[in-house]
Amino acid sequence: MDFKVKDQERVTGKISLRNDNKTALTIQGLGAFIIIAGVLYGIFNNNIWVFAFPSIVSGIVLIGFSEIIRLLHEINERQKNQSN
């Protein structure tokens, strides 16, 4: 049995990396670093709620911004390819 994805015919065969946008990748890495650093500092400082919770929220917000940047970049590249 051979199953096809709904829009498989329109795929041009170009394989692109998910994180080809360096700005989005940098912001995502910064968000992950903030989460890890805040949790570790909260654990070692014995005051986890003061440091860990805000760092997790800040890190998730940064990771969300990086995802928005990546999606907007992907939409922009797709529109450029369609106009050519």
pLDDT (tens digit, 9 = 90+) per residue, 17-72? 565 789 999 999 999 999 999 999 999 998 888 899 999 999 999 999 999 999 99
Per-residue confidence band for 8, with pLDDT thresholds at 50, 70 and 90: very low
Q: What integer pLDDT is reported at residue 18 of this predicted model?
A: 61
Residues 50, 57: Cα–Cα separation, whole Å? 12
Q: In one letter, which amino acid is 42?
A: G
Q: What is the mean pLDDT of residues 62-84?
A: 93
The answer to whether the beta carbons of residues 84 and 38 sit under 8 Å apart is no
Q: Where are the domains of the chain?
A: 21-83
Q: Is the pLDDT of residue 84 over 50?
A: yes
Tell which residue, 57, 54, 64, has the closest CA to residue 27. Answer: 64
Residue 65: the pLDDT is 97
DSSP letter at 13? S
